[in-house]
Amino acid sequence: MMANHKLPVSPSDDKRWKLVDATMRRHGYKSHALIETLHTVQECFGYLDDVALRFVSGSLHVPPSRAYGVVTFYHFFTMKPPGEHTCVVCMGTACYIKGAKAVVDGLQSHLGVHAGETTPDKKVSFLTARCLGSCGLAPAVVFDGVMSGNVTAEKAVERIERWKQ
Amino acid sequence: MTPEELQEQAEKRRAEQKDTPHQIRVCVAAGCISTQSDQVKEALVKGLSPELQKTCQVNGVGCMGLCKEGPLVSVDDTLYKAVSAADAPELINSLSQTPVQRLLCDSKAPFFSRQKKIVLENSGKINPEVIEDYIAADGYVALHKALAEMTPLQVNEQVTISGLRGRGGAGFPTGLKWSTVAKGAAGQKYVICNADEGDPGAFMDRSVLESDPHRVLEGMAIAGYAVGANQGYIYIRAEYPLAIQRLKLAIRQAERLELLGKNIFGTTFSFHVELRIGAGAFVCGEETALIASIEGKRGTPRPRPPFPAESGLWGRPTLINNVETFANIAPILRNGGSWFAGIGTEKSKGTKVFALAGKITNTGLIEIPMGITLREIIFDIGGGIPDGRKFKAVQTGGPSGGCIPEQYLDMPIDYESLAKAGSIMGSGGMIVMDDTSCMVDVAKFFMEFCMTESCGKCVPCRVGTVQLHGLLCRITDGTATMDDLSQLEELCDMVRSTSLCGLGQTAPNPVVSTLRYFKEEYLAHIQEKRCLAGVCKITVPHAAGVSR
Amino acid sequence: MSPLSTLTPRVKTLKINGLDVSASEGEKILDVARQNGIQIPTLCQLDGLTSVGACRLCLVEVKGTPKLLPACVTSVEEGMEVTTTSERLVKYRQMILELLFSERNHICSVCVSNGHCDLQGMAQAHGMTHVRFPYLYPQQGVDASHRRYVMDHNRCILCARCVRVCDEIEGAHTWDIQGRGGDAFVITDFNQPWGESQTCTSCGKCVQVCPTGALSEKGKSVAEMTKKREFVPYLTLMREEL
């Protein structure tokens, strides 16, 4: 079967493509490696762009529409480059009951963008999550990968202001 | 590894632990880490004098349960709460002196004393990153027992006798599921661990995986032996990076000691485990959607039958259980099925792990025998409602569950009772609400969740959840009529009866249960244009009674 | 199916709406009902394509089973007692149609498929006279970039017949669905204009199987818009004979 398989040619000599290729190779370039490979691309590049998508779908023999359908089905995948910093507000039940909505509203009006968007200056990506499993700390917010508990709108805004300096 | 080597490993580790008279354990599960327990651990390690290093060990351990008071540290048998790095010298001094009074956490309090730990027996005790710790705590003994002394049929028998039921929510008898897969078409079979803990407000599985990953691997390997599968997958949420990291490490360690992989314990049984990382889709907790996702496709469910036990991953017989179910397996095999069946109630055996959150004093993780009452959980173990407020409802089962009101507080916790009260056991999230929560708003919250998590394949769920959410929005903003209320009820019934998978079939549950117990709140919004809890911003003046 | 089992199919007997019928093992309730002159409504199902059980119109009651079962994918069983129409089923089917009509813009009078539309026909057959739910009508575009065909997303009911025929029969897999829930819509390739698709063979099978006016041929009058679907089971059958 592998005889027919042309080894994929990386879109550029960016070294990160080697990592992407390694994931595909580990799964024998089988089509079921699609999601795993997309994870690697997003880990390496921060998001999935057209070039990456064409490369992955071509290498794994996944029809383009199927690859695109998969990327857009899973909310973890993003096709927009993330901002310099990210702020994820947990909107799980426990956080909601304890006032996460006020945090979201506060950040929304402070940043001037809705959840799921990045500020025009590309400084901050503002996201919500459906539950981060840190319900004991509700409401929880993740600032650049670091979890903070018992966050209020004021605290969140103050934290974000520090990025701007 | 041979059984003798396993024994040797265990004894060596136990001897080591005995030789170090002092043990300091720092919780390094996600909850405490987010309050910088890793820094506490570092300060403690650095603070030990060369002299003390010989007699005292500092270990990172899994979840100790009382997440609210983190970081938690135990110094020998004394438990401390809300410890900071600056407290390290004092804690070290306490080894030779009296305990540090101001940080003491009462480990005799009902929160600890009323629990019964099977799944979590190692949590907070062993270092989840050291396989030898797990082995010293009788780890992999059950796997050895299964492989050396039992036939697959006998393993299935013990699981059946134990009465264990699926801990993912629906409570299907585990033994029956295992025997079905065992009897499935010969050839390739798979075991899948569902670690896509999607219910908002639930963190039991995350905690088990972070605190005792080998327990789950051992359970999966035993399952593989019992059903005839040599390949296992753990499907885990991308939102749980720490659990992923510890699982990866645990798999590597187990492979190195040949407790996973080819010819385990020198037998003909081989079992490999691979991780698959989810990508943010709640519906992938549904078995057939989860399988589609492992196959690299959109996570849309398909009609069952055929059930995965018959035709699952790549069309092969597949066993899917959740994390907590697998975590129960090793103790069942070690102690026998009837030991397990002796715990809990007639139809719900064993213990259940719950995540206590919301408006409750002791937020955290608990494990209790089935059959104790909600009141005991919320008021004794959970410490009641903070700020002197009044209990209103407890939500169990996440978006598929319901809200249970005060009159059911003395109901025993088991699958049937919860279903009778209009909710479900679910995976174990328990969100407590006080009188500052509006139940219509809560129903709307869950409907919004289901609407955004609907895969869009079947019409009732795709469009029905949007229309249900619209109706709830109209009720909470005061523009709904009584006609809308009857339409809400009708639509709930229809979406429930006609949706393709469990997500759609249970999506109306939060609405139905709040309508059942808190109808007056719905009526107040509609007729009086008033939110009794003061949560909803009603903009329409009373007289307007807007119709569409 | 192995040759042996096709030669000696095991016969199952069951009741549909009280009528005693017989069927071969593995046959679906829907097919057996149709063979016996009992019509069960469907929208996503099409002979010759894999059934997905998505539209939920073919749900039937089976005695002893609390849940309603989709007739298109449920195999017959010995002694089964099936009811294909009841007060409850009629009500649910009407509501499903209402939900579909509320979801996108299905104003028949301005649709190319007026008079030849499966959704319209279904609504008429089920006495759906009005829609009680508010119309959602998201702004969906029309893709007229293809030389011969047009895709009007406003008329799409997401039955995925186009996706399946393109994948299973033509083998091009030009179509798929993007996004999820209420935001889902069908796409070609990397969600680019249909006319720019690299994989589309312009065979037109998707247009023929589309139940509504979502996919249509350019330059045809409404009267000429009848669709031909017999080719799907024919192609499937011919392939199996090989």
DSSP string spanning B417-461? HHHHTT---TTSEEEEEETTS-HHHHHHHHHHHHHHH--S-SHHH
Q: A75 and B279: CB-CB below 8 Å?
A: yes
Neighbours of C, requiring at least 3 CB pairs below 8 Å, are A, B
Strand arrangement of the beta sheet that strand B364-369 belongs to:
B364-369, B351-358, B429-434, B391-396, B402-405
pLDDT reading at B364 higher than 70: yes
pLDDT at C1: 43
- Closest Cβ opposite residue A68 in set C178, C180, C198: C178
Helix axes A34-45, A64-73, angle to 10 degrees: 70
Contacts of B227 (CB under 8 A, 6+ apart): B152, B156, B178, B181, B182, B184, B189, B191, B317, B319
Burial tier of B102 (Cβ tally within 10 Å: 0-12, 13-18, 19+): exposed
Say which of A32, A66, A74 has its CB closest to residue B280: A74
For tokens 């009529």, name the residue: B481
- Per-residue confidence (pLDDT) for residue B198, from 0 to 100: 85
User: Could you give the CA distance from residue C220 to residue C104 in angstroms, rounded to a whole number?
Assistant: 23
| For residues B166-184, average pLDDT | 94
A:B CB pairs within 8 Å: 137
**Pick from B451, B498, B499: CB nearest C181:** B451
**Confidence at residue B12, expressed as pLDDT on a 0 to 100 scale:** 93
Stretch C38-64: mean pLDDT, rounded?
Answer: 97
B419-435 as b/e: b if 16+ CB within 10 A: eebbbbbbbbbbbbbbe
Neighbours of chain A (3+ CB pairs under 8 A): B, C
The answer to whether C99 contacts B303, with C-beta atoms less than 8 Å apart, is no
CA–CA separation, A67 and A53 (whole Å): 7
Q: How many residues are given for chain A?
A: 165
User: Are B35 and B70 contacting, i.e. CB atoms less than 8 angstroms apart?
Assistant: yes
Q: Is the pLDDT of residue C7 over 60?
A: no
Query: Six-digit token pair at B249?
Result: 């490490």
Instruction: Give me the mean pLDDT over the B103-108 stretch.
Output: 93
What distance in Å separates residue A153's CA from the closest CA in chain B?
Answer: 17
Q: Residue A136 — pLDDT band, cuts 50, 70, 90?
A: confident
Q: Which residues of A touch B198 (CB under 8 A)?
A: 130-131
Contact call for B67 and A131, based on CB within 8 A: no
Residue type present at position B461: C
- CA–CA min distance A21, chain B (Å): 17
* Interchain contact, C55 vs B548, CB within 8 Å: no
pLDDT of residue B541: 62
> Distance (Å, rounded) from C-alpha B464 to C-alpha B268?
52
Counting residues of chain A whose pLDDT is more than 70, the rounded percentage is 96
Whether residue A67 has pLDDT greater than 50: yes
- Round to whole Å and give the CA distance between B412 and B435: 23
C228 in contact with chain A, both atoms CB, cutoff 8 A: no
pLDDT in tens, A113-129: 999 999 999 999 999 98
Residue B358 with chain A: CB contacts under 8 Å:
93-94, 97-98, 135, 138
Predicted pLDDT at A2: 46
Q: What is the pLDDT of residues C231-241, one digit of tens each?
A: 999 998 888 65
Tell me, yes or no, if the pTM score tops 0.85: yes
Name every chain A residue with its beta carbon within 8 A of the beta carbon of C191: 65, 68, 72
> In terms of DSSP H, where are the helices of B280-386?
287-294, 323-335, 337-341, 374-375
Residue C2 binned pLDDT confidence (cut-offs 50, 70, 90): very low
Q: Per-residue pLDDT for C131 more than 60?
A: yes
The per-residue pLDDT for C68 is 97
pLDDT at B468 over 70: yes
Q: What is the mean pLDDT of residues B264-286?
A: 96
Q: Which of C2, C50, C56, C86 to mutate to test the interface with B (most CBs of B within 10 A)?
A: C56
Cβ separation of C182 and B460 shorter than 8 Å?
no
CA dihedral B450, B453, B455, B459 (to 10 degrees): 20
The pLDDT score that the predictor gives to residue B545 is 43
Q: pLDDT (tens digit, 9 = 90+) per residue, B15-42?
A: 988 888 899 999 998 888 888 999 999 9
Whether residue B208 contacts residue B269, with contact meaning beta carbons closer than 8 Å, is answered with no
Q: Do the beta carbons of residue A81 and residue A96 sit within 8 Å?
A: no
Count other Cβ atoms within 10 Å, centred on residue C82.
Answer: 26
CB neighbour list of residue C149: distance below 8 Å, 6 or more residues apart? C194, C202, C204, C206, C207, C215, C216, C217, C218
Q: How far apart are the first and last CA of chain B?
A: 72
C-chain residues near B467 (CB < 8 A): 99, 102, 133-134, 136
User: Any bridge partners for residue B366, and if so which?
Assistant: B354
Cβ–Cβ below 8 Å for A65 and C198: no
pLDDT of residue A6: 67
Task: Find all residues with CB under 8 Å of B440, minimum gap 6, and list them.
Answer: B472, B475, B476, B514, B518, B521, B522, B525, B531, B536
Closest-CA residue to C152 (of C126, C113, C95): C113
Smallest CA–CA distance from C194 into chain A, residue: A65
What does the pLDDT average to over B244-261? 97
Residue B15, phi then psi, degrees to nearest 5:
-65, -40
Helix or strand (DSSP H, E) at C69: strand C69-70
Confidence of residue C209 (pLDDT cuts 50, 70, 90): very high
Instruction: Write down the mean pLDDT value for chain B.
Output: 94
Closest Cα partner for B391 from B352, B358, B424? B358
Compute the nearest-CA separation of B6 from chain A (Å): 31
Q: Which residues of A touch B457 (CB under 8 A)?
A: none
Give the residue-averaged pLDDT of B205-210: 95
**pLDDT given at position B542:** 55
> Nearest CB to C173: which of A54, A66, A73?
A66
- The span from the CA of B236 to the CA of C99, in Å, is 34
